[in-house]
Amino acid sequence: MKALLLSEYKQLEMADLPAPVPGEDEVLIRVAACGICGSDVHGYDGGSGRRIPPVVMGHEASGVIAATGSNAGKFQPGDRVTFDSTVYCGHCDYCRSGDINLCESREVIGVSCADFRRAGAFAEYVVVPERIVYRLPDGMSFAEAAMLEAVSVALHALRVSDVKGGETALVIGAGMIGLLTLQAARAAGCSQVLVADVDASRLKMAEAAGADTTLLASGTDLPAEILKRTAGRGVDLVLEAVGRDETVAGAIDCVRRGGTVTLIGNITPEVRLPLQKVVSRQIRLQGSAASAGEYPQAIELVSTGKIKVQPLITAVAPLEEGPLWFSRLYSHEPNLMKVVLSPLPAGEVHA
């Protein structure tokens, strides 16, 4: 099969690799679409330590069942499907309690690190456990379905934030996850959703996606603006979708006393924490990791148009153009959001 192989850091090439064979509890999927995740771009140069070459990356994918293992009877060849990026054991205490994203043996599709190696979906075929596979509705295109993993991440962030409805929320960062988190906050019942970023073009996308207010601000300017708009109180919830010192500090300064700051972004592995502000104002700091069962909700919300993903797709391109698109994303070319790669002939990815 043809596959996009990270043969060494910053070196992607089309390669002929053996087609994978499903184990007894696995399915073989003919890949139709696979999105380039920010984590793939961060792993492209070795910075994350989670894409050790050689590896086929890609975990935001959809396609068609091509074959099933002897114990995999939930799907049949020809079924249109997507799959979770997380491979969980199903047996540990975390899995039994529903926290599959915290599985003691957690692995991720398309990731190669010191602990495990799993081939991803920038290829004609990929093998995954049947338990992480979900059926697609007929009206959803493969390209839209490749966005479901990111949608599930946004929905999980709202779930762990314990949103009751009626909250005022601020999303910091209008990248892919930020724009989906904005829509997830709307779907969760937040009464007002503000979005802040330092990129005016991304804020225009936030406006189109339903933000009540967009703020071209960061640093000390952002908390000052939020406090002015909330009569000095702050918002009930901040969803931080960047992961840098200044954005985390800004999130803490923007939330009200007793409010919640949910950390989604993790561009940097460590940030400085204004501890006294967190403790004295009794702020709840909540991390959010991947997703844990939100795929059915993601499928429903995208299918009904309550979360719109099509406007966030910058391009759907042939798999062979992967090296070019990775280079463009890595160089931070403006106005690029989600790029979806497909090994299928032109046109089939939209089916």
Whether the pLDDT of residue 347 is over 90: the answer is no
CATH label of the domain that carries residue 263: 3.40.50.720
Report the CATH number that the domain containing residue 101 is assigned in CATH. Answer: 3.90.180.10
- Is residue 78 within 8 Å of residue 64, measured between CB atoms? yes
pLDDT band at 268 (very low <50, low <70, confident <90, very high): confident
**Is residue 67 included in any domain, yes or no?**
yes
User: What's the confidence (pLDDT) of residue 267?
Assistant: 82
On whether both 127 and 160 belong to a single domain, the answer is no
pLDDT reported for residue 345:
80
- Is 37 in the same domain as 54? yes
Total domain count, the chain? 2
Residue 109 shares a structural domain with residue 204: no
Report the DSSP beta bridge partners of residue 37.
none
Whether residues 107 and 19 share a domain: the answer is: yes
Residue 292 lies inside a defined structural domain of this protein: no
Q: Mean pLDDT over residues 161-190, rounded?
A: 97
Average pLDDT over residues 297-310: 97
**What pLDDT digit, counting tens, does each position of 235-249 carry?**
999 999 999 999 999
- Residue 176 sits in the same domain as residue 246: yes
Domain that holds residue 22: 2-147+309-350
Domain-embedded: residue 302: no
User: Is 293 domain-assigned?
Assistant: no
pLDDT of residue 348: 66
Claim to verify: residue 45 and residue 141 sit in the same structural domain: yes
Q: Does 297 map to a domain?
A: no
Is residue 252 included in any domain, yes or no? Answer: yes
State mean pLDDT over 207-218.
96
42 and 126 both lie in a single domain: yes
271 shares a domain with 232 = yes
pLDDT at 266: 86
Q: Are residues 162 and 252 in the same domain?
A: yes
Q: Is the pLDDT of residue 269 over 90?
A: no
Structure confidence by residue, pLDDT tens digits, 64-108: 999 999 999 999 999 999 999 999 999 999 999 999 999 999 999
Task: For residue range 308-346, list pLDDT tens digits in order.
Answer: 999 999 999 999 999 999 999 999 998 899 999 999 986
Inform me whether the pLDDT recorded for 166 exceeds 90. Answer: yes
**Residue 273: pLDDT over 80:** yes
Q: Is residue 247 part of a domain?
A: yes
One domain, residues 95 and 231: no
pLDDT tens string 25-68: 999 999 999 999 999 998 999 988 899 999 999 999 999 999 99
Same domain for 101 and 158, yes or no, is no
pLDDT of residue 246: 95
Looking at residue 349, its pLDDT comes to 60
87 in a structural domain? yes
6, 143: one domain:
yes
